[in-house]
Amino acid sequence: MTARGGIQMKYAIGIDIGGTKIASGIVNQQGDLIQQEIVKSDPSDREKMFEKVVLCVEKLMNHSSIPLSDIDGIGAGVPGKINRENGIAIFQNNLPWSNFPFSERIRDHFKINKVTIDNDVYMATYAEWKAASLTNELFVYMTISTGISSAIINAGQFVRGAGFAGELGLIPVYAPYEKENRERLEKTASGPALEKHAKNRMNSDAMTAKDLFQAFYNKEPLAKELVDDLTSSLVQGVYMINSLLDPHKIVFGGSVITHNPLLLDLIKEKLDNYLIDEQRHILDNMSISQLGNGQGMIGAGLSVLDTF
């Protein structure tokens, strides 16, 4: 298919794999998400989980006007630790894929030679970095959702460390409302953590994170207290990133903050109390993702079409 100006448009399939759902989409080289499909995950067994991935892609292609023969390759974002070179999903907290040869299995099933795989947050980060149109700057993406994590791109290259860099959710923070007054950030400020504390403090087994924020918007004192505590924990994590890396830009994603954008204002307000003058530039360079839930698919697709 030819794009405007006579340029041959290229397409890839991007897959965003999680313990709850799998999303696949067709992405072009400009980062547009053309079509998408979502199916529920089945993490009860490694083969059943893989079958769900295959089903998601097949459903996508069944109603696509772009044939599989026009697809350049398949990219996938998978939680946890990944061996990108060999296409192996090494370790995940919420999937049954210990040392699973993902790329080989996808390649064999769909008869497509080019398959890329990376950590799901890294794939989302790549999409956000492309959208921000940065070149030589240091960029950080932070997701606040079922888990908390981050990834870093400096001058167009990921900062990977030994392979597990960016796991911000593992950092312990001061949290006086926890039993030991200190807990890993993911255990005290993620969506499930928020729901757990809401049920305990508001004495309701039916409370969800959505209910909590609605109570917060209604100015209920307990909800306000809990959201304030959540923000205090998050700010400690953000300040660690800022002090260590001094990034030019931080973009936030994940359902907790994208559904409640007021959180960004609260984070900035508390963060300002930590910052010295030389660090305050970050307050004008923090934003919430504009790519929505498609960022993982877009990043995975672009990982095939770009030199990644």
Per residue in 94-142, pLDDT tens? 899 999 999 999 999 999 999 999 999 999 999 999 999 998 999 999 9
Q: Could you give the 3-state DSSP secondary structure of residue 250? A: strand
Q: Where in the chain is the domain with CATH 3.30.420.40?
A: 11-125+294-305, 135-247+255-288
Task: Round to whole Å and give the CA distance between 214 and 160.
Answer: 38
pLDDT digits (tens, 9 = 90+) for 131-189: 999 989 999 999 999 889 999 999 999 999 988 899 999 999 999 888 888 999 999 99
Task: Round to whole Å and give the CA distance between 156 and 7.
Answer: 25
Residue with tokens 């030589």: 136
The residue among 229, 284, 292 whose CA lies nearest residue 258 is: 292
Q: What is the pLDDT of residue 7?
A: 65
Mark residue 163 as left, alpha or beta (left: phi above 0; alpha: psi -120 to 50; beta: remaining). left
Q: Are strands 88-91 and 148-154 parallel, antiparallel or unpaired?
A: unpaired
Q: Which residues pair with 26 in a beta bridge?
A: 13, 35
Task: Round to whole Å and give the CA distance between 32 and 25.
Answer: 10
CA 241 to chain centre: 17
C-alpha angle 304/305/308, rounded to 5°?
Answer: 65
The mean of the pLDDT values for the chain is: 93
- Taking residue 289's Cβ as centre, other Cβ atoms within 10 Å add up to 21
pTM, full prediction: 0.92
pLDDT digits (tens, 9 = 90+) for 30-85: 999 999 999 999 999 999 999 999 999 999 999 999 999 999 999 999 998 999 99
One of 3.40.50.2300, 3.30.420.40, 3.40.605.10, 3.40.50.300 is the CATH number of 11-125+294-305, namely 3.30.420.40
Per the CB < 8 A criterion, the answer to whether 241 and 125 are in contact is no
Helix (H) or strand (E) holding 48: helix 46-62
Per the CB < 8 A criterion, the answer to whether 102 and 92 are in contact is no
The residue among 18, 36, 22, 204 whose CA lies nearest residue 95 is: 18
For 268, the token pair is: 């900035």
Q: Are strands 138-144 and 249-253 parallel, antiparallel or unpaired?
A: parallel
What would the mean pLDDT of 201-221 be, rounded to a whole number?
A: 91
One of 3.10.129.10, 3.10.450.50, 3.30.420.40, 3.40.50.300 is the CATH number of 135-247+255-288, namely 3.30.420.40
Rg for the chain, CA atoms, rounded? 20
pLDDT digits (tens, 9 = 90+) for 256-281: 999 999 999 999 999 999 999 999 99
Q: Which residues of 252-282 are buried (b: 16+ CB within 10 A; e: fewer)?
A: bbbebbbebeebbebbbebbeeebeeeeeeb
Which amino acid does the sequence have at 132? A
Q: What is the pLDDT of residue 214?
A: 95
Per the CB < 8 A criterion, the answer to whether 152 and 139 are in contact is yes
Task: Round to whole Å and give the CA distance between 178 and 244.
Answer: 26
Q: What is the pLDDT of residue 181?
A: 87
